[in-house]
Amino acid sequence: MSYIDGYDIVIGLEIHAELKTKTKVFCSCKNEFGAQPNTNTCPVCTGMPGALPILNKRAVELAIKAGLSFGCDISRYSVFERKNYFYPDLSKAYQISQLVYPLCVGGKVELDSGKTIRLNRIHLEEDAGKLTHISKAVGTLVDYNRGGTPLIEMVTEPDFSSAEEVVEFLKKVRENLVFENIANCYMEEGGMRCDVNLSLKKKGTSELGIRTEMKNLNSFKSVQRAIEYEAKRQAEVLSGGGVVIQETRKWNDDKGKSTSMRTKEQAQDYRYFPDPDILALNISDEDIERVKDEMVMLPAKRREVYQEEYGLPLYDAQILTSSKYISDYFEKCLSLLNLPKKISNWIMVDLLKLIKEQE
């Protein structure tokens, strides 16, 4: 990548994933995608005065499960806070999130190269509604169905140095969440979203540069393109003797470029404070054990076992773990007939071909 000669790329991610619960995180409205607009709403998730939130136990369990699947420490004590801001998709004018005491702390993901990406935290929060901009004449429509649905937010340390590492990481995160039945991660539906914080650092120095944050990235392809665009833009600014402005930028996938949304000076003060309507969350050993009991073997571990214990090539192990159904099916077959390579060939060649042909 010659266009950024002399600089190293530094990236940290904030990832949101929608949890697979039946109901929302603080009320009993349905958590479903694609319903008639504004049908899954109630006084709690639309923020009517006096309505009281009640925490969804399943959402907490799924967030703990996510934490365990990435090796986080699960906090015995965590706190929900109000993040205050006004925007039409947020009728309460605050989002319930976690700041000082998140549910999961630390954790990591290992890339194929052996490099470790450290997680800073995973916390539980609620989603906002959805705005659809129709036209200048008609205006914007708002659907509060998504408001109050449970999200986990994962924050990484600034450990990435290329777009390829970011995409590999996102795929590994999605794989864990899907295998553990925590989230569907359908990126087209906004089920998994990613903000990219990026700065450049002069090669050979250790001090981090000023970063920008890019929002609105809803496919692996747009993540890749947005990173390449932004690294190039910052390199041009810096090598021209300029300074990078700390700002939030919005990626436009059609135009293939990002534009400034707001600068640090315009950044809002969210006035976080503990939500007085929600008790602090105390997690016991039994809670954690209960979640552990429902966990499966993760795909990375399965690939290891398939190679080391069953003697399969990496290629086979990758295809067999491309979905949990196939992986479970392979293991079921293996329990009936101890011929791993034969079964693998049969699944990869005959069965997958048949599935593809017959859709």
- DSSP string for residues in 117-145: EEEEEEEEEE---EEEEEETTTEEEEEGG
Site string for ligand ADP, 248-287 (x = CB under 6 A): ----------------------------------------
Among residues 40, 97, 156, 248, the one that binds ligand ADP under rule CB under 6 A: 156
Indicate the residue among 80 and 144 with the shorter CB distance to ligand ADP: 80
Check residue 166 for interaction with ligand ADP (CB under 6 A). Answer: no
Among residues 198, 231, 298, 347, the one that binds ligand ADP under rule CB under 6 A: 198
Packing angle between helix 299-308 and helix 163-179, nearest 10 degrees? 90
Check residue 197 for interaction with ligand ADP (CB under 6 A). Answer: yes
Beta bridge partners, 150, equal 126
C-alpha 256/C-alpha 209 separation (Å) is 24
C-alpha 33/C-alpha 19 separation (Å) is 12
The site partner of 199 among ligand ADP, Zn ion, none (C-beta below 5 to 8 Å per kind) is ligand ADP
Among residues 199, 248, 258, 327, the one that binds ligand ADP under rule CB under 6 A: 199
Range 78-117, binding ligand ADP (CB under 6 A): none
Least distance (Å) between residue 44 CB and Zn ion = 5
Q: Which stretch binds ligand ADP (CB under 6 A): 60-68, 85-93, 167-175, 208-216?
A: 208-216
Amino acid found at 263: T
C-alpha 219/C-alpha 225 separation (Å) is 10
**146 Cβ contact partners less than 8 Å away, ≥ 6 residues apart:** 127, 128, 129, 130, 190
C-alpha 197/C-alpha 12 separation (Å) is 5
Contact residues: ligand ADP, CB under 6 A: 10-14, 155-158, 197-199, 208-209, 211
